[in-house]
Structure 1
Amino acid sequence: MIVERIEANIESMEKEEIINRHIEKVYLESSLLVKRIQRVKTDHGREIGIRLKEPRDLTSGDVLYMDDRNIIVIDVMEDDLLVIRPRSLNEMGTIAHQLGNRHLPAQFENDEMMVQYDYLVEELVKELDIPFTREDRKVKQAFRHIGHSHE
């Protein structure tokens, strides 16, 4: 089976659309969400080729296939993250500036900044005395580097 487009996202579907269907999952590392062409395997051993026609990243919950009885959905594996919880706008500005200078991609949820684990970043937030934890957590989308040069 070759998937060329995403049918929907399971999070935006009605319960009635899901409840009577068997769900198979494709577990991906977050870094693979940016690949439009790849071969994957479901948790039931079914091989699927993904060749998306539109230029978009995959996200957690994307429906690769759906019929009257089955749904095949993307699920993202947990990443090793530093979850940074600044107490003030000053702390947020300080850590955002420091991480931006390193061109590290970050994601935000509520009042938390998440970056992929790096021991140097861990040392930095300790040195700046900004609250953080190291957690294994699922992200909904890939950490994407933004193209930039200092010319």
Structure 2
Amino acid sequence: MLRIESVLGSRRDPALHEAIHHLEHHHAVEFVTIAVGDLDRRRLMARTDKGEEVAITLPRDQKLHDGAVLVLDDHRAVIVRAGEQRWLRFSPRSASDALELGYHAGNLHWRVRFDGEDLLVAQDGPASAYAARIEPLISGGRVEMSEVAE
């Protein structure tokens, strides 16, 4: 098992780029895909795309990010790849429905963005869990919910 206790930098760092580029030509770069919702975690278990188990325990002042370099030596590099973020689209029927939906999204601390009149919510669990929290709006036909992939 590979134990990681710090992030070395970003694959976009000029100081690391040349070494990583060289290892890519020798098929010696491994990726650890981490769900977007897990990037803020300091401790987690994962697996590289070549099957090696990775135990990550980061100090409080470091965060995982897409392109984070976890290992870089003469023989290989291990780099974080952020997984695809899934989104739920909530389409309110009226301005008052949008206001109530926004109230709930804020109180529930959902990560959101806007797309026209729709509210997009970053999906970190099953869609049914989100629907249950605003069930009266959905069952009353005041808000429609659909899943979106990006």
Match of 2:64, SS? coil
Report the 3-state secondary structure (helix = DSSP H, G, I; strand = E; otherwise coil) of the residue aligned with 1:20.
helix
Matched, 1:77 2:83: yes
Residue 147 of structure 2 corresponds to residue 134 of structure 1: yes
One-letter amino acid of the structure 1 residue matched with residue 131 of structure 2: Y
Q: Secondary structure at the match of 1:44?
A: coil
The answer to whether the 8 Å contact 1:20/1:69 transfers is no
The match for 1:34 among 23, 37, 40 is 40
Distance 1:7 1:109 in 2: 34
The structure-2 alpha-carbon separation of the partners of 1:113 and 1:40, relative to structure 1 and needing over 3 Å to count, comes to same
Give the gaps of 5 or more residues in structure 2.
none
Partner residue of 1:105? 110
Whole-angstrom distance in 2 between the partners of 1:48 and 1:37: 11
1:83 deviation in Å? 4.3
TM-score, length basis structure 2: 0.61
Q: 1:85 to 1:119 in 2, by over 3 A?
A: closer
Larger Rg, first or second structure (1 or 2):
2
Aligned counterparts of 1:109 and 1:21: Cα–Cα separation in 2: 40
**Considering only aligned residues, what root-mean-square deviation do their CA atoms show, in Å?**
3.8
Structure 1, unmatched stretches of 5+, are 138-151
Pairs within 5 Å for 1:12-91? 12-14=12-14, 16-17=17-18, 18-22=20-24, 23-83=29-89
Q: Deviations over 1:94-140 (max 9, x none)?
A: 64333113x1321448987433143357875895568x862234xxx
Answer whether contact 1:104 1:115 (CA < 8 A) is retained.
no
Q: What SS does the corresponding residue of 1:21 show, helix, strand or coil?
A: helix
Matched length: 134
CA contact (8 A) 1:5 1:54 kept: no
